């Protein structure tokens, strides 16, 4: 089905669609299905009208939860309950485009870590691959395990690098077997009248629940893990010898943590960074030129 909003024939010079411009632009490497879903998500009525209201509610709620957690840090602590709420909410209220972006993120995140581990000789890292195929998979602590995977990967990788005196660099032959050209058309997401929330609205809505049902350590660690985007991007640039994609990373400086109140917005940037990095690897696998990628300052 043709998306009229993303159709060049509907272009009006007096009222250009900014999302059509970004959809047609190829300066930033990103999967075509992902880009279409993201532009549809950005142009949705939910993003325009609901997001500002949900953001206000989210900030106020997080403030009071922060105070509550200070006095009663362990009174409410149930990752299982959290993920059941997340699975229920994703299935019933989140749009197909936003669900596609969320589910796909775990798949490409797993492949990126597998790529790094698979291209450093003498390093063996047994990870916890996360490739959810349905909403029941979300209930198995999916979001929490994603954050834990990142930190455990960095810890295990660098402990072995130091122990074996290894420096990350380009291998004799780059292994890209784990990188897939997944257009993500194998999961059918619900599209009922209630499935209206865009990606940012969904994240803003779910973040207070994340804060409430997790321990303070888990929540702060999850927020700080977003800044590991820079760390993972550096690892891959050392392997690929293509540092240009580092300029596409916005979550930076993991040694200087950022307030958890900005976690929802930075989570969207985290997803975009992962998508662009994964696409760089896909193009590399397909022997397409990626050296000329234009990088915004």
- Tens of pLDDT, residue by residue over 266-287, are 999 999 999 999 999 999 998 8
Kindly state the percentage of the chain with pLDDT values over 70: 95
Q: Write down the domain spans for the chain.
A: 31-124+138-285
Enter the pTM of the model: 0.91
For residues 5 and 106, give the distance between their C-alpha atoms in angstroms, rounded to a whole number.
28
Determine which of 112-126, 232-246, 254-268 has the lowest per-residue pLDDT on average. 232-246
Phi, psi of 121 (to 5 degrees): -60, 145
**Token output for 194:** 């209630």
Residue 147 pLDDT > 70, yes or no? Answer: yes
- pLDDT at position 288 is 58
For residues 97 and 282, give the distance between their C-alpha atoms in angstroms, rounded to a whole number.
22
Residue 292 pLDDT > 70, yes or no? Answer: no
> Is the Cβ–Cβ distance between 251 and 195 less than 8 Å?
no
Please name the residues in contact with 79: beta carbons below 8 A apart, sequence gap of 6 or more.
Answer: 141, 144, 213, 214, 218
- pLDDT at position 40 is 94
Determine which of 153-157, 188-192, 247-251 has the lowest per-residue pLDDT on average. 247-251
The arithmetic mean of pLDDT across residues 246-273, rounded, is 92
For the chain, what is the mean pLDDT? 91
Please name the residues in contact with 162: beta carbons below 8 A apart, sequence gap of 6 or more.
Answer: none
Residue 161 pLDDT > 90, yes or no? Answer: yes
The arithmetic mean of pLDDT across residues 1-12, rounded, is 70
Residue 137 pLDDT > 80, yes or no? Answer: yes
């Amino acid at each position: 089905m043709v998306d009229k909003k993303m159709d060049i024939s509907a272009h009006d010079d007096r009222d250009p669609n900014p999302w059509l411009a970004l959809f047609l632009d190829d300066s930033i490497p990103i999967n075509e299905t992902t880009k279409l879903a993201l532009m549809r998500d950005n142009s949705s009525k939910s993003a325009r009208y609901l997001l500002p209201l949900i953001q206000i509610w989210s900030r106020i709620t997080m403030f009071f939860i922060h105070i509550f957690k200070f006095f009663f840090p362990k009174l409410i602590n149930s990752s299982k309950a959290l993920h059941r709420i997340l699975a229920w909410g994703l299935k019933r209220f989140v749009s197909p485009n936003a669900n596609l972006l969320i589910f796909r993120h775990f798949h490409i995140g797993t492949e990126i870590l597998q790529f790094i581990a698979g291209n450093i000789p003498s390093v063996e890292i047994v990870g916890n691959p996360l490739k959810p195929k349905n909403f029941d998979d979300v209930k198995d602590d999916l979001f929490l395990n994603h954050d834990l995977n990142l930190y455990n990967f960095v810890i295990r990788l660098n402990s072995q690098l130091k122990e074996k005196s290894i420096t990350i660099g380009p291998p004799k032959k780059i292994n890209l077997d784990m990188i897939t050209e997944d257009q993500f058309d194998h999961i059918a997401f619900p599209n009922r009248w209630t499935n209206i929330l865009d990606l940012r609205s969904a994240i803003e809505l779910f973040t207070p629940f994340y804060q409430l049902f997790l321990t303070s350590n888990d929540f702060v660690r999850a927020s700080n893990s977003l800044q590991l985007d820079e760390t993972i991007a550096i690892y891959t640039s050392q392997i690929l010898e293509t540092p240009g994609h580092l300029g596409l990373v916005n979550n930076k400086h993991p040694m200087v943590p950022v307030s958890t109140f900005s976690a929802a917005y930075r989570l969207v940037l985290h997803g975009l960074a992962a998508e662009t990095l994964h696409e760089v690897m896909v193009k590399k696998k397909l022997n397409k030129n990626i050296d000329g990628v234009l990088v915004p300052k």
